Amino acid sequence: MNINFEKARNLMVENQLRPNKIKEKSLLNLFKTVPKEEFVPDIFKSNCYFDKDLNILNNRGYLKNLHLAQIIDYANIQDKNNVLHIGGLTGYLSLIISKLCKKITILEEDTTIYENLKKNIEDFNIENIEIINTKLSEGCVKNSPYDIIIIDCPLYYLNNELIEQVNPKNGKLIYIEKVKDNLSKAYKITRNDNFKSKEYLFDVFSNFSIDQLSEEFKF
């Protein structure tokens, strides 16, 4: 079956993103042009632009397209920003982020996913990306502080050490906090010196969870 992926991307933007207050032209253009089908298993290529989650491995995967766009929209990434993406999966969202920031560090703990992620990113020849195979709960101190940290897979507990890697001068951490089996809430933590504020962003209905990878995600 021949699929017009360019048409599918455009329909996704017009039917899923734009009606739900995703208005930034540069962000919409990225979702129109970055080929998600190149980042998912063959079995999911035909429906990767549908309005639903895509499971990749071990109860982890991509949230629906709207939620991915909302995360980046709320992050308000600037071209001078240093970004940490925790749980890069196969690289789709990381690649979009890389087009908006100065540097992105991507962490992936699962060895199988990491190897696939590294290959996918190398295929696109992006120079402002560093990929590290490490425990997700530890973050990456050596490249901190980060203007923005993004964790786009739901988790029950947020490690305080990650918050300490956020730039103390108005740095942001966007993450999705698990409430129960299929309900999570997205939040933004903003750090100003020792003051940290937490803002609710939107609800996420998904069974995904990142916590099974490590017992060290604690508040």
**Residue range 130-142, pLDDT digits in tens:** 999 999 988 999 9
pTM of the predicted model over 0.85: yes
Question: 48 pLDDT exceeds 70?
Answer: yes
**pLDDT at 159 (0 to 100):** 85
Q: For position 179, which CATH number holds?
A: 3.40.50.150
The answer as to whether 134 is a domain residue is yes
Question: 212 pLDDT exceeds 80?
Answer: no
As for how many domains the chain has, the answer is: 1
The answer as to whether 9 is a domain residue is no
The answer as to whether 143 is a domain residue is yes
The answer as to whether 47 is a domain residue is no
* pLDDT tens-digit readout, 88-121: 999 999 999 999 999 999 999 989 899 999 999 9
The answer as to whether 195 is a domain residue is yes
Domain that holds residue 183: 53-213
Average pLDDT on 169-183 reads 94
**pLDDT at 213 (0 to 100):** 42
The answer as to whether 81 is a domain residue is yes
The answer as to whether 21 is a domain residue is no
Alpha-carbon span 204 to 154, nearest angstrom:
9
Question: 215 pLDDT exceeds 80?
Answer: no
Using alpha carbons, select from 80, 40, 87 the residue that is nearest to residue 211. Answer: 87
Q: Any idea which residue has 């809430």 for tokens?
A: 185
**pLDDT band, very low/low/confident/very high, at 167 (cuts 50, 70, 90):** very high
Query: What is the arrangement of strands in the sheet containing 169-180, beginning at the earlier edge strand?
Result: 129-133, 103-108, 82-86, 148-151, 169-180, 183-192, 195-205
Backbone φ and ψ for 77, nearest 5 degrees, come out as: -70, 135
The answer as to whether 106 is a domain residue is yes
